[in-house]
Amino acid sequence: MSFHALIAKVEQAEQALEDRERRTSAQWQQVKTTWRQSWTPGRIVIAGLASGFLVGRTQPLKLAGSGGLLNLVTALSGMLASGSAQAAAEDAEQAADAAGNAADATGAVADRSAGVAPVSDDEIAAIERAARGG
């Protein structure tokens, strides 16, 4: 077989491969579309009921050691959640304090600018700290 014949055969194989890739892609798109369209709300409810029934029949709590493992997981998740909540509460408290300091400093500047008294260096420093969030 000549070199040009081999090149022609390779090109033919490449074209066949590309054609199959296009057909496969089109078929996959069709499968995805059909799959999405077939999940109607009624079918979702039926699938949920069936899977719930099957899980209930297998009784996974017996496999988990009479709930000991489940209790451990529940306790750990509660502990992690409470730690996260406490950290969030502290962050919120710091943000509220910074906002309160900024409001106080702004009110003092407003009073001073209304002709009450000049702003001191300490008040300017407090305003700058409040603006920086600290």
Confidence at residue 14, expressed as pLDDT on a 0 to 100 scale: 96
Q: In the chain, what's the furthest Cα-to-Cα distance?
A: 104
* Model confidence pLDDT, tens digit, residues 68-105: 666 777 777 877 777 777 777 788 888 777 777 766 66
For the chain, what are the domain ranges?
Answer: 66-134
* Model confidence pLDDT, tens digit, residues 23-57: 999 999 999 999 888 888 888 889 889 988 888 88
CA distance 122 to 108: 12
Extract the tokens encoding 72: 């451990």
Alpha helices by DSSP H, the chain: 3-38, 41-58, 60-63, 68-113, 121-131
Q: What are phi and psi of 87, to 5 degrees?
A: -65, -40
| Res 61 pLDDT > 70 | no
